[in-house]
Amino acid sequence: MDFELSPEQKEIQALTRDFVQAEIAPHAAAWDREHCFPRELFARLAELGLMGVCIPEEYGGAGADFLSYVLVLEELSRGDAGVGVTVAVHTSAVTLPLLRFGTDEQRTRFVPPLARGEHLGAFALTEAEAGSDAGALRTRAEPDGDGWRITGAKQWITNGRYAGTFLLFARTDPDAAGARGVSAFILDAADVQVTRDEEKLGLNSSVTNDIVIEDAYVDHDRLLHERNRGFRVAMQTLDGGRIGIAAQAVGIAQAAFEVARDYAKERRAFGRRIGEFQAIQHKLANMSMEIDAARLLVYRAAWLKQAERPHAEAGAKAKLFASEMARRQTAEAIQILGGYGYTKEFPVERYYRDAKITEIYEGTSEIQRLVIARSILGLQEHVVATRI
Ligand SMILES: Cc1cc2nc3c(=O)[nH]c(=O)nc-3n(C[C@H](O)[C@H](O)[C@H](O)COP(=O)(O)OP(=O)(O)OC[C@H]3O[C@@H](n4cnc5c(N)ncnc54)[C@H](O)[C@@H]3O)c2cc1C
């Protein structure tokens, strides 16, 4: 066992940290208020190789390992969780599945523009009546000549408004029950209409959209993986994606901890610094311990994925623990700052709002507990319909 990051991992971590400190963190409060970050940021992230960290160089990526990518997500989310999720969805939920499940032709055609950050990716699974129960989706794709006609509506699609490439799931067998008749498709922005920008509690700098697909024709080569086997693509994508969301949660909690610790060293009450009160010391000790524990779970899951070993259970544990930890500990950070914590003078109220989503997307906490329970009970074959 080796707890030391490799020189390359340290270098990517330091590069991202410096970039975040200089160009993201100082603007995060404004981007939260304005509900967007400037689009030029994509170009800056791409220049640094951060839009394709763990994609092989031959496909336009930086060629680093999965843990390096997780370190990048942690650092980005420490500065702005909206930027973190933008890169997480783009990479884990779109570029990596195209690389994994695509034919040689699909890989060569679709991956490099994503890995180089020329296109942004979006993952379109959720519908109004198909969230945790993603197998209930109703968007349909019907064979038409040499291709497919796709019609339907998706909801809460991160990056939707700015995406050039969509990984979209549609029903290809109307008679098959639930998850069994679903296929995955690669769509262009021109195939999709963005119909709404969601108003959210947090994560405001990232866009979350409703989209409609109206009788869009796509060629047969837009089918990813096998017909009616798309649910497998979705579930395996989320098994890895969750590790990224867990890293996002760790990054948010780390940011909150640093503000709370520094505040406790300065703020005075009853003639003392509040960090001298045991009640505050215990809060800081718990924060630090829980962040460490979450980070270790995240890094272990990333290591398992990199080693191509089973990582569904480890990823679900990392995501479940890290997200609940981030919600708890960002609330504690507000408590340490007292009234100031509740105001926009300090960023901890934003961290608290941002942390909450990590308990919901890429599988709610209830679904993570199901994944873990089924894995430890050996009930894998029944997992199918409830893994998102
Ligand atoms: C900001 C944001 C960004 C998102 N980005 C994307 C995206 O890019 N692409 C995409 O496809 N989706 C995206 N989503 C959707 C997200 O993945 C879903 O919201 C999530 O999977 C939960 O689905 P739901 O909201 O429909 O909740 P529901 O499935 O309706 O769940 C409601 C409640 O019931 C519980 N529940 C449901 N089923 C069970 C069960 N079997 N056992 C126990 N409890 C259960 C849930 O845990 C939850 O507490 C995003 C959502 C948000 C809010």
Closest to 303 in 3D by CA, of 363, 242, 243? 243
Q: Are 169 and 182 in contact (CB under 8 A)?
A: yes
> Nearest-CA neighbor of 137 among 122, 158, 121, 151?
151
Overall average pLDDT of the 35-48 stretch: 94
For residue 201, is pLDDT > 50? yes
Question: Residue 308 catalytic?
Answer: no
Contact 29, 347 (CB under 8 A): yes
Query: Does residue 94 sit in the same domain as residue 127?
Result: no
Task: Give the pLDDT band of residue 388 (cuts 50, 70, 90).
Answer: very low
For a pocket test of ligand 1, which of 32, 192, 323, 360 has the largest count of ligand atoms closer than 8 A to its C-beta? 360
Contact 62, 55 (CB under 8 A): yes
Distance of CA 201 to the CA centre of its chain: 17
- Look at the chain and report how many structural domains it folds into: 3
Whole-number pLDDT of residue 380: 66
* Backbone CA torsion sign across 200, 204, 208, 209: positive
Mean pLDDT, to the nearest integer, of 131-138?
Answer: 96
Instruction: Looking at the structure, tell me whether residues 156 and 99 fall in a common domain.
Output: no
For residues 241 and 190, state if they share a domain.
no
Unique residue bearing structure tokens 């006609």: 149
* Ligand 1 atom closest to 198 (CA): 1
* 8-state DSSP, 133: S
Average pLDDT over residues 34-49: 95
Q: Ligand 1 centroid vs 287 CA: distance in angstroms?
A: 27
Q: Which of 74, 127, 349, 362 is catalytic?
A: 362
Residue whose Cα lies nearest atom 16 of ligand 1: it is 361
Percent of the chain with pLDDT over 90: 96
Q: What pLDDT was estimated at residue 382?
A: 47
What number is the average pLDDT over the span 349-370?
Answer: 98
CATH code for the domain in which residue 38 is found: 1.10.540.10
For 212-263, write each residue's pLDDT tens digit: 999 999 999 999 999 999 999 999 999 999 999 999 999 999 999 999 999 9
- Is residue 95 within 8 A of residue 186, CB to CB? The reply is no
Ligand 1 centre to CA of 22 (Å) is 34
pLDDT tens digits, 275-298: 999 999 999 999 999 999 999 999
Average pLDDT value for residue range 40-50: 96
| CATH number reported for the structural domain that contains residue 311 in this entry | 1.20.140.10
Ligand 1 near 364 CB (within 6 A) = yes
Same domain assignment for residues 201 and 246 = no
Residue whose C-alpha is closest to residue 55's, from 7, 101, 96: 96
* Phi and psi angles of residue 133, each rounded to the nearest 5 degrees, phi first: -90, 65
Last residue of a domain, which of 89, 119, 149?
119
Residue from 155, 88, 98, 158 nearest 123 by CA: 158
Residue 277 lies in a domain: yes
Strand partners, 210: 196
Q: Using CA positions, which residue lies closest to atom 37 of ligand 1?
A: 132
Whether residue 34 has its Cβ less than 6 Å from ligand 1 = no
C-beta 233 within 6 A of ligand 1: no
Residue 178: predicted pLDDT: 87
Q: Are residues 112 and 168 in the same domain?
A: no
Decide which of 170, 194, 228 is a domain's last residue: 228
pTM above 0.95, yes or no: yes
pLDDT of residue 116: 97
- Which of 132, 206, 211, 359 is the best mutation target for the ligand 1 pocket, counting ligand atoms within 8 Å of the beta carbon and taking the most? 132
Consecutive H or E run containing 127: none
Task: State the CATH number of the domain containing residue 172.
Answer: 2.40.110.10
Domain boundary among the residues 85, 119, 153 is at: 119
295 Cα to the center of ligand 1, angstroms: 24
Closest atom of ligand 1 to CA, residue 122 = 8
- Centre of ligand 1 from the C-alpha of residue 40, in Å: 31
Reply yes or no on whether the pLDDT at 134 is more than 50.
yes
Q: How is residue 177 annotated by DSSP?
A: -
Q: Is residue 21 part of a domain?
A: yes
Q: Is the pLDDT of residue 66 over 50?
A: yes
What mean pLDDT do residues 172-200 have?
96
Clarify whether residues 115 and 245 are in a common domain.
Answer: no
CB-count exposure of residue 240 (10 Å: 0-12, 13-18, 19+): buried
The answer, yes or no, to whether residue 384 has pLDDT greater than 70, is no
Residue ranges making up the domain that contains 282: 232-386
- Which residue out of 32, 156, 324 has the highest number of ligand 1 atoms within 8 Å of its CB and is therefore the one to mutate? 156
Compute the Cα dihedral for 263, 267, 273, 274 and give only its sign. Answer: negative
Same domain for 213 and 129, yes or no, is yes
Question: Distance from the CA of 363 to the center of ligand 1, in angstroms?
Answer: 6
Same domain, 111 and 130: no
Give me ligand 1 centre to Cα 222, in Å.
27
Section 9-35 average pLDDT: 98
Q: Can you tell me the mean pLDDT for 350-354? A: 98
